[in-house]
Chain A
Amino acid sequence: MTVNMSGVLCTKSHEYAIQAGDVLKVGITDFAIEQLGDIVFVELPEVGTTFKKGEVFGTIESVKAASEVYLPVSGKIVEINEKVQNEPEIINEDCFGEGWLVKVADYDKADLEGTMYYDEYKHYLEQEEEEIV
């Protein structure tokens, strides 16, 4: 699936959000995937659960470690990607497309103000890298 990257918003904790009609599609970024390595298990919340912005909504297990994922907005989970629960490797292959995690409704667009467009995010990562070195 080809994704229009200009519509991808990213967080500093490496989740992304894509607005699709009334819902927000949330997943983890390619950078997160690179850090995690091979993903082997995904734990997602039940449909209908509500979360506040910044709350843990799921866990991604890679061969290496377990990592929590944070919801970029306050809202209600209206759909989870059951396909990635059965085949977590899809996230490694296509994180922005088939490898999305949850869809959120009833969210406030203002919550997305602190996020970065994908190219800004890339720039942010480069700067982070320099600081680490």
Chain B
Amino acid sequence: MNQKSGKTTLYEEHKKLGAKMFSFAGWEMPLQYSSVKEEHLTVRNKAGLFDVSHMGQVFISGKDALDFLQNLVPRDLSGLREGKALYSLLVNDNGGIIDDLIIYRLPDSESCRKFLLIVNASRIEEDLNRLLLFKNNFEVNIDNKSDELSMIAVQGPSSAEVAEALGLNKDDQPARFSLKQTELNGYDILIARTGYTGEDGFEIIVKNEDAPGLWQEILNRGESLGIKPVGYAARDTLRLEASLPLYGQDLTEDTTPVEAALCWAVSKDKKENYSGKEIILNQMTTKKVDRKLIGFKMLDKSVPRHNYEIYVDNQTAGQVTSGGFSPCINTGIGLGYINTQKPFSEGTKIDIMIRGKLHPAEIIKKPFYSRK
């Protein structure tokens, strides 16, 4: 069995396509195949193909599956119907974010609920530790299938056409934030209408041994629709434009959902207890946090990057957690944490310290890009 470390099952495909490889969360992933800007715009205008096999897949089943998960995340999962999905956060006792994940409710089996958690590659271990810590009190099975499964994402406005070209009619395609178990070109797959680019698209989970075949099939059948493989450099600029946080940069165990501006992923009226609940709800009601995640754009041609300092009124006031150049807006953009001592809002002028010089920027509304 090909262990999930180092190389994904699609490694040889990336080499064949001439990808420049780099190390990401312990994995050798494609950085780019052609030009970052071109790959970025391919996803915005047509469709891009991503290898996201490094991500973790953890299945939760058993009589207490729902109650178990309800203890771990601030979002109420009781209304999550079969085949639907929710973005959620795994939080620690202080309300700090252990991981951000998507929870899919699979079709029930033998009258018990079954869930699939798609988690960040860099956090699989911490996630499992957290799940195991809470397991005792529940009748639940935790099945980490990350080593056996690969994941391929098709993202972009033409994604539905690409899926159709592979034999999945539009009527049979899952709706947004939904998941289906089906067959695609003879491969057994789980297909979800989710992604990390701000575009319409699918994430397809497939057995490791089927991944190269499915990858090739998607590229062949999608060719006339303009599909192209897209690397991680463009994945980063795409998710940044869509203001989707990256764990390890924008989210850490020291940030709460309120600080991270992820209150929408917290159900305020959730009855069940979960770890960190008191702290999170207190922050939500009092609106008192020491720092808050903001989005900003540069007012000159410079480019903000991870770890640069944010200044307000010539005083250091925070840090850029994600930054880069936006190919769609043609400007440097970034996400960062700013301390809340001074009032700020959209339109507030700030500065970013870049190589010893302050460069003007402005807090703006997130996301930087929304699809039409």
Contact = CB atoms under 8 A, between A and B. Distances in A.
Interface of A: 37-38, 40-41, 43, 59, 61-66, 85, 88
Nearest to A35: B20
Contacts of A43: 302, 355
Contacts of A40: 301, 303, 325, 332
Interface of B: 31-32, 35-37, 40, 233, 237, 301-303, 305, 324-325, 327, 332, 355
Given A40-B303, A41-B332, A63 B355 contact: no
A41 B35 contact: no
- What 9 pairs between A and B have smallest CB-CB spacing? A38-B37, A61-B303, A63-B36, A40-B325, A64-B233, A37-B36, A41-B301, A63-B325, A37-B35
Contacts of A59: 355
Contacts of B233: 37, 63-64
A37 B37 contact: yes
A41 B36 contact: no
A63 B302 contact: no
Given A40-B325, A41-B332, A43-B355, A64 B36 contact: yes
Given A63-B40, A63-B237, A38 B305 contact: no
28 contacts: A37-B32, A37-B35, A37-B36, A38-B35, A38-B37, A38-B327, A40-B301, A40-B303, A41-B301, A43-B302, A43-B355, A59-B355, A61-B303, A62-B325, A63-B36, A63-B37, A63-B40, A63-B233, A63-B237, A63-B324, A63-B325, A63-B327, A64-B31, A64-B36, A64-B233, A65-B305, A66-B303, A88-B301
Contacts of B355: 43, 59
A63 B31 CA distance: 12
Given A63-B36, A63-B237, A85-B301, 13 more contacts: A37-B32, A38-B36, A38-B37, A40-B325, A41-B301, A41-B303, A41-B332, A59-B355, A62-B325, A63-B325, A63-B327, A64-B36, A66-B303
Nearest to B300: A41
A65 B307 CA distance: 13
Contacts of A61: 302-303, 325
A87 B332 CA distance: 15
Contacts of B305: 65-66
B249 to A, nearest CB: 14
Residue of A59, A63, A65 contacting most chain B CB atoms (<10 Å): A63
Residue of A43, A64, A88 contacting most chain B CB atoms (<10 Å): A64
Contacts of A41: 301-303, 325, 332
Nearest to A36: B36
Contacts of A88: 301
A65 B323 CA distance: 10
A30 to B, nearest CB: 14
A88 B355 CA distance: 19
A111 B365 CA distance: 51
Contacts of A62: 36, 325
A66 B355 CA distance: 11
A42 to B, nearest CB: 9
A46 to B, nearest CB: 12
Contacts of B332: 40-41
Contacts of A64: 31-32, 36, 233
A85 B302 CA distance: 10
Contacts of A66: 303, 305
